[in-house]
Amino acid sequence: MLRINPNIKVWGRNDLCPCGSGKIYRFCHQEIDEKMLAYRRKGCIVPSKRLLKKKSEIEAIKESARINVAVLDYVSEKIGEGMSTEEINRLVHTKTVEMGGIPAPLNYQGFPKSVCTSVNDQVCHGIPSPKTILKDGDIINVDCSTIYHGYFSDSSRMFCIGNVSEENRKLVEVTKQAVEIGLKEVKPWNFLGDMGQAINDFVKSKGYSVVEDIGGHGVGLEFHEEPFVSYVTKKGTEMLMVPGLMFTIEPMVNMGRANVYIDDNNGWTVYTEDHKPSAQWEIQVLVTEDGHEVISW
């Protein structure tokens, strides 16, 4: 016999939809909810309702993303040879606060700066320092995250400093292409594994490797939410992509092996084990009823 939990609200088809759209439930989320239930009964990993962003939340997150993108644009105008990564940190902090936001990385689980700056063989979580000076030929990832009125946005870009070698420039470009290829798989009722396999297959076809132990994440109401987003997964596996799900696509692509390690001195910065270069682009994406929407890039 089917048991109904008395603490769970059951929405009538003619009730107002709980998503806040103002529409009747049967004309809004009833079909989506029924599909989710059908997939769950098949044993699929289905997101909980709390992970699916409501219209009002999406609009608020977009305001946060507006700041995040503007800050990255500002860095793009200023970054160059001879600049320290601490200067980048000051640019990000000042611009974010000036626009009414809060730098999300600052003091997050003890992280000491307002942005992550990862140079050459640093895979991610590089800590800005006045001692790290950008040199001709460097590649750097600037990972910017913003809180605005309690809502979170997160994206990063790669920058080529001066005369970058052809092989390093190719790594940066292939990594960006990998994000774009993964994005094509973001549509309702696909699986995160569909995206993961598309990215991994492409990266491997170019002779590179994808970091396995670090990936993307849900984002919006918190800095890091479920699900964990891997880029070494298989098609038809991982969480079902449902309208309202929001997460980052941020494969970390190594020129050499996928193996990495964390700096013992600061407990944050991740390096390639073979000290060959690594690249990363990060976007924040929303699953919509007819595909996807990029929130921050």
Q: Show me where the domains of the chain are located.
A: 49-296
What is the structure's pLDDT at 236?
A: 97
Query: Mean pLDDT over residues 1-22, rounded?
Result: 54
Q: Is 35 helix (H, G, I), strand (E, B) or coil?
A: helix
Neighbouring residues of 229: CB distance < 8 A, sequence distance ≥ 6:
192, 195, 196, 215, 216, 217, 218, 247, 248, 249, 250
Confidence of residue 2 (pLDDT cuts 50, 70, 90): very low
Distance CA 297, CA 293 (A): 11
Q: What are the tokens at 264?
A: 């013992």
Interior CA angle at 282 toward 163 and 204, to 5°? 75
Query: Mean pLDDT over residues 37-54, rounded?
Result: 95
What is the structure's pLDDT at 250?
A: 98
Distance CA 126, CA 175 (A): 18
Q: Is pLDDT of 38 > 50?
A: yes
Query: Mean pLDDT over residues 110-135, rounded?
Result: 98
Distance CA 209, CA 207 (A): 7
Neighbouring residues of 37: CB distance < 8 A, sequence distance ≥ 6:
none
Mean pLDDT of the chain: 93
CATH of the structural domain 49-296, one choice from 3.90.230.10, 2.170.8.10, 3.40.630.30, 3.30.420.10 = 3.90.230.10
Predicted model pTM: 0.91
What are the two backbone dihedrals, phi and then psi, of residue 228, each rounded to the nearest 5 degrees?
A: -75, 135
Query: Mean pLDDT over residues 225-235, rounded?
Result: 97
- pLDDT tens digit string along 64-122? 999 999 999 999 999 999 999 999 999 999 999 999 999 999 999 999 999 999 999 99
| Short-list 159, 152, 263, CA closest to 217 | 152
